[in-house]
Amino acid sequence: MKFAESPVLAPPLPLWRARVVVVLIAGALAVLAGRAFYLQGLEYGFLQAKGESRYSRVLEVPANRGRILDRNGEALAVSTPVKSIWAIPEDVVASRRDLKRLADTLEMSEDDVRKRLDGQGRDFVFIKRQISPEIAARVAALGIAGVHQSEEFRRYYPGGEVVAQAVGFTDVDGHGQEGIELAFEQHLAGRAGTRRVIKDRRGQIVEDLEGSHPAQHGRDLVLALDSRIQSLAFSRLREAVRRHRAKGGGIVVLDARTGEVLALANLPTYNPNNRAQLSGGSLRNRAVVDIFEPGSTLKPLTIAAAIDVGRVTPRTRIQTAPGTLTIGPATIRDAHKSEQLTVTQVIQKSSNVGAAKIALMLRPQVLWDLFEQVGFGREPDLGFPGEASGKVRPYKTWKPIEQATMSYGHGISVSLMQLVRAYTVFADDGKLLPLSLLKLDSPPRGVPVLAPETAREVLAMLETATHPGGTGPRAQIMGYRVAGKTGTAHKQENGGYAADKYFSSFVGLAPASRPRLIIAALIDEPSDGEYYGGTVAAPVFAEVMAGALRILGVPPDAPMKPIELPGPDDEVRESV
């Protein structure tokens, strides 16, 4: 029998089929080799990252935000270390009992914890941020796989509501949102670092790797604020707002020699350490961002402009009878009728008619130039977020009635900060000082605005306004000479003026012989029957000024004798 005919020796499959199988196997091996080359050669970085993601983590090392200090080194804002609880949802191994214990420990609902761990495609979630180290230790004791902790910093404000609008606050990530915190974000904020580590399957760090970058902590900021004066100003302002059932108020205490802001308080306010019930109105630093018509507190500037160009002197007599002045369809009125007043008495008695007549002696540009030079119509350059520029219309558009009413603070809008700054020209021989929220190493140079003789004459006039016979005797302080001006103005409302809503204000300097402090106080909508600046705002000024001068150790410049206040029938009210 032939070999090919033997059934035992005959090949079980055709030769071509074997060759096909060999080719297919070779092709498969080639594909696998190509795939391996592609993944390990061309996609090495991707695979490496996937591999490292199983055991390697890059953790953020938080930076400590710089402290905010007052001028004496007392802390106004500090960062305290806290813990945050986070998780990788796919790594969490927890029973229902574990989740309930976790929720109870964190004072959260169980449903809220479950929603956060649901993941929804995320590989990182915060369960709760900024908890105390004590609570974090209790969470760690639960031993839930996949639930981790990290260090963070939480901002704390020792001054609370007293300095809330001035200092501001940060968000949960430590970024400034309001006030000084926002204005000086670049100075205060540090730069977070990184830390590369190896973790085991339970998320525990077992080794630190190279490539870590240390955090760069923020720098401290020293403010011009004096916490003692700030606390005094806030408490007296709050007392006045309550006593007169007012809508709000503001007060600014300025160093007359340097322009440093020693106190800046507002009402209503809020607690920056607990902002659960925070409202938009409480956030506003009204003394900086709100504008109002300053009323009679602007008369000293009008008269200063007239004296400076030689149109009047302190002894020039102004005919104010019959107590009214009609310009077109409008009539300007005085609260107290006089036949005639000297320029000094126009300030002392706060005569609208007298101020209007003096203003009308001037070219509009003269008055506008002084307003512009003292900073009205532009931001005071404090660097504070949202600071107002106020409103001063171009002098070329002024009508006679507008020029007349602007002389006593109507038809022009300023912020309380702008107003208190304008009064620095009377404290420093006619020089306007720049303002500073930060503590200064040396006094800045003022910009000449008025002749020194003019500034001294107006300062002397302002002193008469606080004596008996003036509108501000309640601003007197035992042992100190005080110069200042009352202001009362109707509030603007719906395109006009509200008949029974007022801004009551007082701006003053002391000691008048050599001014050390300038204080501006504003009460918004007093509604307890009294609304004149001399009876509502002047006492706030006196209390704060007296306390601040004692705190600073300023020596008296007047006899230490009791203050004599006029009776209700003798008190002089400023014209509104």
Residue showing tokens 């986070």: 86
DSSP 471-529: S-GGG-BTTB--EEEEEEEEEEETTEEEEEEEEEEEEEEESTTS--EEEEEEEE---SS
Q: Of 41-45, 134-138, 338-342, 568-572, which has the strongest mean pLDDT?
A: 338-342
Q: What is the mean pLDDT of residues 250-272?
A: 96
Q: Considering the entire predicted model, what is its pTM?
A: 0.84
At 263, the pLDDT band (50, 70, 90 cuts) reads very high
d(CA 136, CA 127): 12
Q: DSSP label at 374? A: T
Q: Which CATH architecture has domain 58-222?
A: Alpha-Beta Complex (3.90)
Residue 92: per-residue pLDDT: 79
Burial code (b: 16+ CB inside 10 Å, e: under 16) for 246-263 equals bbbbbbbbbbbbbbbbbb
Mean pLDDT is lowest, of 292-306, 374-388, 534-548, for 374-388
| Secondary structure of residue 302 in the 3-state scheme | helix
Residue 46: per-residue pLDDT: 65
Residue type (1 letter), 535: T
Count the neighbouring beta carbons within 10 Å of the beta carbon of residue 62.
Answer: 21
- Distance from first CA to last CA of the chain, Å, rounded? 139
Which stretches of 95-208 are assigned E, i.e. beta strand?
125-131, 147-156, 193-199, 205-208
Q: What is the mean pLDDT of residues 135-153?
A: 84
pLDDT for residue 16 is more than 80? no
Residue showing tokens 């990252």: 49
- The residue among 565 and 549 whose pLDDT is bigger is 549
Q: What is the mean pLDDT of residues 179-204?
A: 77
537 by Cβ neighbours in 10 Å (0-12 / 13-18 / 19+) ranks as: buried
Select 227-552's CATH number: 3.40.710.10, 3.40.250.10, 3.40.50.300, 3.40.640.10.
Answer: 3.40.710.10
> What's the number of CA atoms in the CB half-sphere (13 Å) around residue 342?
10
Q: What is the percentage of the chain residues whose pLDDT exceeds 90?
A: 61
| Secondary structure of residue 135 in the 3-state scheme | helix
d(CA 436, CA 96): 58
Residue 83: per-residue pLDDT: 85
Residue 15: per-residue pLDDT: 73
Nearest CA to 488 among 512, 471, 464? 471
Residue 211: per-residue pLDDT: 58
Nearest CA to 360 among 401, 310, 304? 401
| Cβ atoms 173, 62 nearer than 8 A | no
Count of residues making up the chain: 576
What's the chain's average pLDDT? 88
Residue 22: per-residue pLDDT: 83
Q: Give pLDDT tens digits for 319-358.
A: 999 999 999 999 999 988 888 999 999 999 999 999 999 9
| Cβ atoms 475, 520 nearer than 8 A | no
Structure-token pair, residue 566: 């006029």
Residue 124: per-residue pLDDT: 75
Q: Of 86-90, 186-190, 217-221, 454-458, which has the strongest mean pLDDT?
A: 454-458
d(CA 456, CA 467): 17
Which stretches of 92-146 are assigned E, i.e. beta strand?
125-131
| Secondary structure of residue 332 in the 3-state scheme | strand
Residue 150: per-residue pLDDT: 78
Answer yes or no: 338 catalytic: no
In Å, how far are 160, 185, 237, 243, 276 from 273, measured between CA atoms? 7, 19, 22, 27, 9
The whole-angstrom distance between residue 265's C-alpha and the CA centroid of its chain comes to 10
Nearest CA to 559 among 511, 516, 507? 511
Among 84, 282, 296, 436, which one carries the catalytic annotation? Answer: 296
- Taken in order 425, 431, 434, 435, the sign of the CA dihedral is negative
Q: What is the percentage of the chain residues whose pLDDT exceeds 70?
A: 89
At 8, the pLDDT band (50, 70, 90 cuts) reads low
Residue 510: per-residue pLDDT: 97
Residue type (1 letter), 561: K
Count the neighbouring beta carbons within 10 Å of the beta carbon of residue 467.
Answer: 15
pLDDT for residue 88 is more than 70? yes
Q: Of 100-104, 280-284, 342-346, 494-498, which has the strongest mean pLDDT?
A: 342-346
Instruction: For the chain, give every domain's residue range.
Output: 3-43, 58-222, 227-552
CA angle 293, 296, 298 (to 5 degrees): 75
d(CA 110, CA 118): 12
